[in-house]
Amino acid sequence: MNIRSSILTVLITIFTVFISGSAVAANCSTAPDMLEEILKRGKIRIGWINSKPFQYRNEKGQLEGAFINAGNMLGEEFLKVEVEWVEAKWDTFMAGLQSGKFDIVISNVARRPNRAVSAWFTKPVVIGAQTFLVRKDANITQLSDIDKPDSNIVVRLGSAAHITYTENDKDFFKNANIKSVAPPALPEQEVASGRAIAMGAGSVETQQIARANPDWAKVVVLPESPRSVGAGFVMQQCQHNLLHYMNTFVDTIIETQFMVKQAELFPDIVLDAIVAPTQLIGDLSR
């Protein structure tokens, strides 16, 4: 290739990138300002996904949880608007967000690259790690104990563990089979019955199940276990103002040690298992 051809190729590449960037910018420029709409409407519609102790219904059918408290604080104390909670599911919440069923999602949603293609995330609110729920009598102490041919590892359909072991880190297991379980089926029942050797999930979920079933269940954290990129709140793409506002809200949660206070209300929040951010980047005063 001669110099003239090389220069032409570079110019074409630059022009293509410029046009692509302009197209993206144009798409964002036509997007409605969701924050402005929320304020004008006087109501924020918040999607939530059942996951105790972050967001769930108690025995009376009332919504409870650390992030329910966060969402109510966001609407009532900061935005000064009515809060409407809209139930969603792990495998369909992105579609609900994009269709406008709710304005934002406030739940313990893992910040994954494949999800970021379709939505925007705030900075992490909590950070944890993937763990395994196993039977006490299985004597699981290392990865090779569960990574065996014909062994089943169960995960909730659409959960962070599902995405981790089937997409982001699909070579983590060399021999075991990953089996996704959709509601109303419970993956922990697969482990309890012996149909699965382990359940992959975040530390809060597995700790909670183990405490509810002390006769057979225990949690194993392996040195090789994938580390979390954190859970954040979610909104549609191109919502610059809303993202800025929500990131500032997350900063407030961190500054006030909100999760530490929530752990006092919800014992299932184990601060040693969930590394809740306790200071801002660059904050040297703590």
Would 277 be classed as within a structural domain?
no
The total of structural domains in the chain comes to 2
Whole-number percent of the chain with pLDDT over 90 = 58
Residue 104 and residue 52 share a domain: yes
> Hey, which of 72-81, 103-112, 205-214 has the most confident mean pLDDT?
72-81
Would 96 be classed as within a structural domain?
yes
Residue 84 and residue 46 share a domain: yes
pLDDT category of residue 9 using cuts at 50, 70 and 90 = low
pLDDT at 224: 83
Would 279 be classed as within a structural domain?
no
Residue 170 and residue 57 share a domain: no
Residue 141 and residue 121 share a domain: no
Question: Does the pLDDT value for residue 178 go beyond 90?
Answer: yes
Last residue of a domain, one of 220, 253, 279: 220
Structure confidence by residue, pLDDT tens digits, 229-238? 688 999 999 9
Would 59 be classed as within a structural domain?
yes
Would 275 be classed as within a structural domain?
no
Question: Does the pLDDT value for residue 68 go beyond 90?
Answer: yes
CATH number of 202's domain: 3.40.190.10
Can you give the residue range of the structural domain that contains 121? 34-127+229-265
Residue 154 and residue 118 share a domain: no
Would 104 be classed as within a structural domain?
yes
Residue 112 and residue 63 share a domain: yes
CB 286 within 8 A of CB 256: no
pLDDT at 58: 94
**Residue length of the chain:** 286
pLDDT category of residue 129 using cuts at 50, 70 and 90 = confident
Question: Does the pLDDT value for residue 286 go beyond 80?
Answer: no
Last residue of a domain, one of 220, 249, 281: 220
Mode of pairing for the β-strands spanning 231-235 and 120-121:
antiparallel
Residue 123 and residue 134 share a domain: no
Residue 154 and residue 93 share a domain: no
What average pLDDT does the structure give for the chain?
Answer: 85
pLDDT at 173: 94
Residue 70 and residue 107 share a domain: yes
pLDDT at 113: 84
pLDDT category of residue 20 using cuts at 50, 70 and 90 = very low
User: 53 preceded by cis ω (within 30°)?
Assistant: yes
Residue 215 and residue 91 share a domain: no
Would 20 be classed as within a structural domain?
no
For the question of whether the overall pTM of this predicted structure is more than 0.85, the answer is no
pLDDT at 137: 95
Residue 261 and residue 181 share a domain: no
Would 15 be classed as within a structural domain?
no
pLDDT at 272: 58
Closest by CA to 73, choosing from 249, 235, 245, is 249
DSSP notation for 144-203:
HHH--TT-EEEEETTSHHHHIIIIITTTS-SSSEEEEE-TTS-HHHHHHHTS-SEEEEEH
pLDDT category of residue 163 using cuts at 50, 70 and 90 = confident
CB 21 within 8 A of CB 29: no
Residue 215 and residue 233 share a domain: no
The more confident residue out of 7 and 71 is 71
Question: Does the pLDDT value for residue 56 go beyond 80?
Answer: yes
When pLDDT is averaged across residues 120-143 and rounded to a whole number, the result is: 90
> Hey, which of 75-79, 124-128, 227-231, 259-263 has the most confident mean pLDDT?
75-79
